[in-house]
Amino acid sequence: MLPALLFICIVVPILAAGACFVVRAQAVRSATVLATGALLMAGSVLLAAQGAFSFDPGTLGGLGWGTLISVLDFLLLAVILFYGFRLKSRLVQILALLQIAPLAWFELFALDHGAAVLPLHGDGLSLLMVLVISIVGSLICIFAIPYMKKHEEHLHLAKSRQPRFFFFLVLFLGAMNGLVLANNLLWLYFFFEVTTLCSFMLIGHDRTEEAVRNATRALWMNSLGGVAFVFGMILLYSRTGTLDLQALLMAGPLAGAVLLPVALICLAGFTKAAQVPFQSWLLGAMVAPTPVSALLHSSTMVKAGVYLVLRLSPLYAGSFLGTSIALFGGFSFLATAALALGQSNGKKILAYSTIGNLGLIIACAGLGTPAAMSAAILLILFHAVSKGLLFLCVGTIEQGIGSRDIEDMRGLYKVMPRTAIITVLGVATMLLPPFGVLLSKWLAIEAAAHNAPLVVMLALASALSVVYWGRWAGMLMSAPFSREVKPEPLSALTLRPLQILVGGAIVLALFIPWIYESFALPMLGESVFSVHYGVLTTGAGAFAVYPLFFAVLVGALFAWWAARKSRFVPATSLYMGGANATGSLEEPAFVGPMNKPVKVAFGNYYLESLFGEGKLTRWVNIAALALLLLVMGGAL
């Protein structure tokens, strides 16, 4: 059964991607995406139920899979080089050649192809990643079916580009599952580069000047990570004699010069995870259709980066390199929280929040303690579900009101009550107890307690995130109304993914103890907290999951009762010092200069003089580069 499940999780999405590209009938393509999503979701659950495994797929028609991966690797790099020439990007060309040349030398002259390396391995972390990729990613692909139809209608395209779009979108899922299950570093590198090509093609999908420019930036920045990966892999092999990831991890922490190749591979993870100062490629990716943003941020691409850093954590645990990686991740968390505070663009807020949460995961990987690793593993899951949900909500709102600016979402409940409620719930799962993101942050801060600079950065960043999340949620439900609101019409393929994701974000929090015991504990071998009647207890405090859920339920019921009761209370216009010009609830105004009515305008303070991108980005990047030099210096 294991070979069949691995085939479903890795190969089926690749075959389905090809079918999406070849088949031009929209109904058949939609059915292919739906069937692939259903197969992936079921296959990932069954694979996770199998538990840890190691597997060698053998040969394909007498040809070794390793040989096939090597050939495909060079073909993939050739495609990237081709786009470097097509885009006239000297940087992409150089970075592609800096991968092709050393990799060719390594494969032909240095690597012992006869050495036994198990190609695939699954443990708690990789199986959790497969669940996230296959379930959250599939829901995003399903959401994309009606979304892309509306998107292309808006663009008035003469010929649909959906076959190409769904080819790369679905291919992403197979590549990511291959990446997290790869035990041979050469296999991992191949899937790593597939995600680079997919992201480039999807970011530039609309073919506008801005889209092409941002896609090119994403390509060269991630190719820089690819170069670091190649040189790190070659150096690691030269000093350890193996590319077997599990063999390396079982050998325990490395020391001395062997840490340099590990640091280079972590650098590849930093670029893929868009950590400061590489954040501009992910911010530029916002020009792509919303399902692309959701997929990049929640279950693919950037998660590949943090997975890589987290996977290698046992190799640098307790070293100066680990400490510097922790500080680097903590700084990214703090810097992007400050930058998000000065934003009103919903997608940019989500992008900065994503980069920050990935920085928190990297900080936990740098700490390397059981508590920190538990926090990182839990955060990967809960962040993926909540962030995927919020991106899809923003896409739905943008198609509904024509804007992604949160100022234009004020009183959204009046026009899009379903989407508004789901979005508010999504924000709550990122912000409030007893949901998993807050639990993970609490656990991370506790794990960093012995590192004073890091714990200060994590606490400040968490506080700033409360501000921008609370501001957004408040606006969605604001504005007076005295009439019944009618649910907005949404297609089933739009509404169901939103409902499943918001339900998953809530329900999964109830199973935090089970998730910890099933995925984190088997990897760590040391219990971080004990559970008694839904109260999670650690050495520094307790997190009462089930009592908090009960309190939230009581509060929600009371709020619902109060809202029902308020329908019978007459609404009044805003009080403006006795100078109201009109009693209208829809367009309130006050008497201004020259005795003329002035329309009331609402707006939030974004403190752009302190937190604006123009003020912070340069200094943030300089500080991040200094910390990156510290990371590389720590390896030396």
pLDDT in tens, 491-508: 999 999 999 999 999 999
**pLDDT category, 351, cuts 50, 70, 90?**
very high
Please tell me the pTM assigned to this model: 0.94
Between the two ends of the chain, the Cα-to-Cα distance in Å is 46
Report the C-alpha gap between 332 and 287 in whole angstroms: 23
The region of weakest confidence among 305-314, 333-342, 477-486 is 477-486
pLDDT for 46: 97
Residue 13: is the preceding peptide bond cis (ω within 30°)? no
**pLDDT category, 451, cuts 50, 70, 90?**
very high
Report the C-alpha gap between 137 and 9 in whole angstroms: 12
The region of weakest confidence among 179-183, 420-424, 516-520 is 516-520
How many CB atoms neighbour CB 214 within 10 A?
23
How many CB atoms neighbour CB 421 within 10 A?
16
The region of weakest confidence among 59-63, 71-75, 476-480 is 476-480
Give the start-to-end residue ranges of the domains of the chain: 1-316, 318-528+556-570
**pLDDT category, 595, cuts 50, 70, 90?**
confident
Largest distance between two CA atoms of the chain: 89
The region of weakest confidence among 238-247, 326-335, 539-548, 597-606 is 597-606
Q: What is the mean pLDDT of residues 202-212?
A: 94
Express the helix, strand and coil content of the chain in percent, nearest 5 each.
75, 5, 20
pLDDT for 569: 64
**pLDDT category, 573, cuts 50, 70, 90?**
low
Please determine, for residue 175, whether its predicted confidence score (pLDDT) is greater than 60: yes
128 with 381: CB under 8 angstroms?
A: yes
Please determine, for residue 540, whether its predicted confidence score (pLDDT) is greater than 80: no
pLDDT for 466: 93
Q: How far is CA 557 from the centre of its chain?
A: 32
420 with 412: CB under 8 angstroms?
A: yes
Higher pLDDT, 546 or 577: 546
**pLDDT category, 574, cuts 50, 70, 90?**
low
Q: Where are the alpha helices (DSSP H) in 276-369?
A: 280-284, 290-298, 302-311, 313-316, 320-341, 346-367
Q: What is the per-residue pLDDT across 428-443, written as a single tens digit (0 to 9) for each?
A: 999 888 898 998 999 9
**H, E, C per residue of 480-537:** CCCCCCCCCCCCHHHHHHHHHHHHHHHHHHHCHHHHHHHHHHHHHCCCCCEEECCEEE
Q: What are the phi and psi torsion angles at 481 (to 5°)?
A: -155, 145
The region of weakest confidence among 107-116, 235-244, 314-323, 563-572 is 563-572
Q: How far is CA 316 from the centre of its chain?
A: 24
Please determine, for residue 586, whether its predicted confidence score (pLDDT) is greater than 80: no
Vertex 373: Cα angle to 513 and 301 (nearest 5): 100
pLDDT for 531: 73
Please determine, for residue 589, whether its predicted confidence score (pLDDT) is greater than 70: yes
pLDDT for 148: 94
Q: How many CA atoms lie less than 13 Å away from 606 in the CB half-sphere?
A: 17
Q: What is the per-residue pLDDT across 138-151, written as a single tens digit (0 to 9) for each?
A: 999 999 999 999 99
Q: What is the mean pLDDT of residues 402-428?
A: 91
**pLDDT category, 133, cuts 50, 70, 90?**
very high
Q: What is the mean pLDDT of residues 283-305?
A: 88
Q: What is the mean pLDDT of residues 233-246?
A: 94
Q: Where are the alpha helices (DSSP H) in 368-449?
A: 370-401, 417-431, 436-447
Q: What is the per-residue pLDDT across 14-39, written as a single tens digit (0 to 9) for each?
A: 999 999 999 889 999 999 999 999 99
**pLDDT category, 556, cuts 50, 70, 90?**
confident
**Residue 53's beta-bridge partner residues?**
122
How many CB atoms neighbour CB 200 within 10 A?
26
How many CB atoms neighbour CB 405 within 10 A?
15
Please determine, for residue 379, whether its predicted confidence score (pLDDT) is greater than 90: yes
How many CB atoms neighbour CB 631 within 10 A?
23
Please determine, for residue 583, whether its predicted confidence score (pLDDT) is greater than 70: no
Please determine, for residue 541, whether its predicted confidence score (pLDDT) is greater than 80: no
Report the C-alpha gap between 289 and 294 in whole angstroms: 9
Bridge-based pairing state of the strands 120-122 and 541-544: unpaired
